[in-house]
Amino acid sequence: MQYEYTKHLITTGSSIKKALSKLNELAADSILFVVSESGQLLGSLTDGDVRRGLLSDLNMEDIVDRFIQLNPKFLQKGNYTIQDVISFRENNYRIIPVLDKDGIVINIINFRFLRSYLPVDTVIMAGGRGERLRPLTDHIPKPLLKVGVKPIIEHNLDRLALFGVDDFWISIKYLGEKIVDFFGDGKTKNVQINYIQEDQALGTIGAISKVESFTHDYILVTNSDVLTNIDYERFFLEFIESDADFSVATIPYNVNIPYAILETNNNVIKNFTEKPTYTYFANAGIYLMRREICQLIPKNSFFNATDLLSKLIAENYKVTSFPLRGYWLDIGKHDDFNKAQEDINYIKF
């Protein structure tokens, strides 16, 4: 969702009359943040602050600086925790400025529109050819095939943006210029998008080796061709709470056996289970990891997420599973694509 955060900003020295006009336009979101000429946060201003100022003998000729509350709440980009976000939300701080390291306002989050503000960079893998969906992918990259009214990859990006993710990397190869043309730098969605150009196929996670620096300490990686309503905050919280190094979103898959299953030893029956159900967990193509794990991905080499998973398990890193209880569909074949067209009308995002 595009949110024009600059409407909450007013420059130091502005008249209180101008501030009141802006507050009136903001309606339910009526709070302003007073910034210096260079954009540094100086204070906040609400209708209540104006009333209190007028009752304290300030007048309509005074500037906003005389009415503001100093030291407003804020988040610093790349230097906050999910607990900070939850605390603001639970204490009914709905509109929070985001500052860079120099104290300049670079974004404003509004919990009327966002469910969270996750401290993660996200890499969307979108370089594949989509062979099984030909001829649909002969002239359009698979991530740009529409499911309902918008492309598959846009469903993914919008879902992540709903949870406050605003730092994106998209790996591109086949017809990648069409994806760049579609999203640009991300400003129309109030996010930042960088692109990873794969000159050769790098597998399902190898492209990460080409990123020189991430903003956050945690990296979320997702295939671009999945359709899901996963709760990304719950995924992140369980990752933090379990102190994991790497986590895989998984799909519980039940197998019902219509017979009694016998446990035997040298043809001697030791036990049996009548018509058991076994639950297996399939890889959903969505991963969360600590930033330092990226160093284990070989530079500019074909490397799949499953290769990294095997390496981490072999070297005794803590690897966890996050069972996804909501909707998930891997759009790999024509049948999947057709199913997605039907399901999109009923999925609760």
23/32 Cα distance (integer angstroms): 7
Q: What is residue 347's predicted lDDT score, i.e. its pLDDT?
A: 84
318: which residues sit within 8 A by CB, 6+ positions away? 242, 243, 244, 245, 246
Cβ pair 162, 262 in contact under 8 A: no
Task: Indicate if the pLDDT at residue 297 is higher than 90.
Answer: yes
By residue count, the chain amounts to 349
- Sorted by where each starts, the structural domains of the chain and their CATH numbers stand as 5-110 (3.10.580.10), 120-343 (3.90.550.10)
Whether the predicted pLDDT of 28 surpasses 60: yes
pLDDT digits (tens, 9 = 90+) for 43-60: 999 999 989 998 988 888
100 pLDDT more than 70: yes
**What average pLDDT does this structure show over 81-102?**
93
User: Could you report the per-residue pLDDT of 158-190, keeping only the tens digit for each?
Assistant: 999 999 999 999 999 989 899 999 999 998 898
Q: Using alpha carbons, select from 286, 293, 300 the residue that is nearest to residue 227.
A: 286
Instruction: Check residue 2 and give its pLDDT.
Output: 56
Mean pLDDT for 206-211 is 92
* For range 101-105, the mean pLDDT: 93
Can you give the pTM of this predicted structure? Answer: 0.87
Q: Name every residue whose Cβ is closer than 8 Å to that of residue 23 and which is 6 or more positions away in sequence.
A: 30, 31, 32, 45, 46, 47, 50
**Residue 3 above 80 pLDDT?**
no
Q: Which of 294, 297, 289, 312 shows the shortest CA–CA distance to 120?
A: 289
Average pLDDT, integer, range 241-264: 89
Please determine, for residue 321, whether its predicted confidence score (pLDDT) is greater than 70. Answer: yes
- Burial (Cβ within 10 Å: 0-12, 13-18, ≥19) of residue 48: exposed
pLDDT at 242: 94
First-last CA distance in the chain: 13
pLDDT confidence bin for 255, thresholds 50/70/90:
confident
Distance, in Å, from the CA atom of 278 to the CA atom of 284, rounded to the nearest integer, reads 18
| 205/124 Cα distance (integer angstroms) | 10
Which residue in 321, 345, 348, 344 sits closest to 331, CA to CA?
344
Tell me how crowded residue 42 is: count the other CB atoms within 10 A of its CB: 19
How far are the Cα atoms of 23, 57, 68, 86, 130 from residue 49, in angstroms, in the given order?
A: 11, 13, 7, 26, 57
* Chain centre to alpha carbon of residue 96: 18
With helix as H, strand as E and coil as C, how does 168-234 read? Answer: EEEEECCCHHHHHHHHCCCHHHCCEEEEEECCCCCCCCHHHHHCCCCCCCEEEEEECCEEECCCHHH
Distance CA 152, CA 157 (A): 9
Q: What percent of the chain has pLDDT above 70?
A: 99
